[in-house]
Amino acid sequence: MIYQASLLFLKKLGGFILEPNSIIETSVEALYPITSLATLNHEGFNMTILITGATGLIGQNLVKTLLDVNSSGVKGSDIRLLIRDQVGSPSREKFIQWVTSKGINIFWGDLRSTSDVLRFTDVDDPKRSVIIHCGAVFNFYQSYQSLYDTNVVGTTRILHGFHVNRIKKLVYVSSVAVYGSLHHSNGKGITEEQSIDFNQRKSYELTKSLSEDLIWKYSSKYPDRLITLLRPSGIVGGQGVTLDIFARMFFGRYVPLPGGGSEKISLVDVNDVVRALIYFSAFHVGNGEAFNLVSFTPTLREFILELGHTLNYQNVKILSIPLGFFKPLFYLSKIIRTFIEPKENSLFLPILFDKLGQEVWIDNSKIMAHGFHPKSTLAESMDNFQQFLIKNPWYAEEKFSIAL
């Protein structure tokens, strides 16, 4: 049967075994024939919206934006969230309480579980449904296996549910991390034509590359399925790893930077990510394509000075340090981390040293040619982050107490 063949295909792609009880003797294509793009006659969000990673930075902002009647008119009953049943941060718990009060459908389950994902994606009208897959682990201390289980296996489970339950469209949140260890962009932005790097040594980056590879292989096998990939650059504007990392660079009001921080860095505000996800969830937009997503590309120095203002530092001083001095620090951090249990607020984050001195400028022209234009500015993004810190004082203490 066609369906069994697709399961074998996914099994081959993912490198792991799908649960035997997920195989049924029926042809999904016969039950739900795919509608071609030419016959689509409905627009907007008159649909069921299924969201993974809903308690994360992107997910929380996405749900809140969808329920803003001024922007979309989506009802709580139109939204489904797949959320793991576990105790989380104060902001996560508040968000879940808020979600419940809005009548949003919560499906308690695990992204890695085939049965949970199949239950989550079993909707009344799959032809009017879209999956927005934000779920992923972004952590520098967890093992490669734990990252693989969520980021790669979880994505395969979503592809499985998307295929079996014949959901109309899938929008996947990838990352510019798939481009790998790009050193200097030589004054030219890195475009979507850059090949995915499968030789990466970093766990998170490699799992995002593998996840994308799964999706592209599936899309190649089933070219009529509607799939769009977004590759955000470093996400700022609220809680999130990008700002946490840079906040740890402050020694009081002093910040040592190689070469004074003259290299460009591409960043995206979380509100622009949310707007892009909504935009590309329309059935006729961006199918079979990947899009870089950038809001602004300041120099590292400009970004650090703006962040220092947000963190209430007065007269931030940039210390220009030769790059050659940072490389020994990077190797020293590796040695120290072999004897000390890693802490999330540790200064010895390899990424701090590994990324400094690299100019990674991401080209944003393709997404704008498709009609989407980021709106956020760096100042607005930092203002949003400041408001988040005011409302959630626990966050600074937990995430980067060494900086504050």
Tell whether the model's pLDDT for residue 329 goes beyond 70.
no
What local confidence, expressed as pLDDT, does residue 344 receive? Answer: 47
Query: What is the structure's pLDDT at 32?
Result: 26
Environment class of residue 86 by beta-carbon count within 10 Å: exposed (0-12), middle (13-18) or buried (19+)?
exposed
Question: Is the Cβ–Cβ distance between 19 and 115 less than 8 Å?
Answer: yes
Query: Which has the minimum average pLDDT: 112-121, 163-172, 299-308, 345-354?
Result: 345-354
Rounded to two decimals, what is the model's pTM? Answer: 0.81
Residue 267, pLDDT above cutoff 80: yes
Tell me how far apart the alpha carbons of residues 161 and 173 are, in angstroms, rounded to a whole number. Answer: 17
2-42 tens-digit pLDDT: 334 333 434 444 433 333 233 222 222 222 222 222 222 33
pLDDT of residue 187: 61
Burial class (CB in 10 A: 0-12, 13-18, 19+), 273: buried
**Predicted local distance difference test score (pLDDT) of residue 205:** 86
In the block, tokens 């962040």 appear at: 307
Q: How confident is the model at residue 387 (pLDDT cuts 50, 70, 90)?
A: confident
What percentage of the chain reaches a pLDDT higher than 70?
A: 71
Looking at residue 134, what is its pLDDT?
A: 96
Residue located via tokens 């016969």: 30
| Mean pLDDT confidence for 352-376 | 80
Question: Which residue in the block uniquely carries the two structure tokens 């008159």?
Answer: 46
Q: Which residues 6+ apart lie within 8 Å of 392 measured at CB?
A: 90, 91, 239
The Cα 275–Cα 373 span in angstroms is 9
Span 59-111, pLDDT tens digits: 999 998 998 755 556 888 899 999 988 777 777 888 899 999 999 999 999 99
Amino acid at 253: R
Q: 278: closest CA among 41, 64, 56, 53?
A: 64
Report all structural domains of the chain as residue ranges with CATH numbers, in order of start.
2-239+266-299+359-379 (3.40.50.720)
The residue among 389 and 188 whose pLDDT is bigger is 389
* Tokens describing residue 70: 């001024």
Residues found in the chain: 404
Per-residue pLDDT band for 204 (boundaries 50, 70, 90) equals: confident
pLDDT tens digits, residue range 122-156?
999 999 999 999 999 887 667 889 899 999 999 99
User: Which residues contact residue 38 at a Cβ distance below 8 angstroms, ignoring those fewer than 6 apart?
Assistant: none
Q: Are the C-beta atoms of 274 and 65 separated by less than 8 Å?
A: yes
Q: Which tokens go with 316? A: 């931030």
d(CA 169, CA 249): 41
What is the pLDDT at residue 341? 54
Among the residues of 32-165, which ranges form H helices?
Answer: 57-66, 90-101, 114-120, 144-148, 154-164
Q: For residue range 213-233, list pLDDT tens digits in order.
A: 999 999 999 999 999 999 999
Query: Is it the case that residue 116 has pLDDT exceeding 80?
Result: yes
C-beta separation of 292 from 231 below 8 A: yes
Q: Alpha carbon 65 to chain centroid distance?
A: 17
Give the C-alpha separation, 292 to 177, whole Å: 11
Edge-first strand listing for the sheet containing 105-108: 105-108, 79-83, 48-52, 129-133, 169-173, 226-232, 289-293
- Determine contact, residues 260/302, Cβ cutoff 8 Å: no
pLDDT exceeds 60 at position 355: no
Q: Do 211 and 152 contact (CB within 8 A), yes or no? A: yes
Tokens representing residue 71 in the block: 């922007």
* Among the listed residues 403, 23, 394, the one whose alpha carbon sits nearest the alpha carbon of residue 245: 403
pLDDT at 36: 26
Lowest mean pLDDT among 7-16, 63-72, 188-197, 237-246: 7-16
Q: Note the maximum CA span of the chain.
A: 69
327 band by pLDDT with thresholds 50, 70 and 90: low
Measured between alpha carbons, how far is 320 from 258 in angstroms, rounded to an integer? 6
Closest CA to 246 of 292, 306, 183, 189: 306
Q: What is the average per-residue pLDDT within 266-284?
A: 93
Which pLDDT does position 129 carry in this prediction? 96
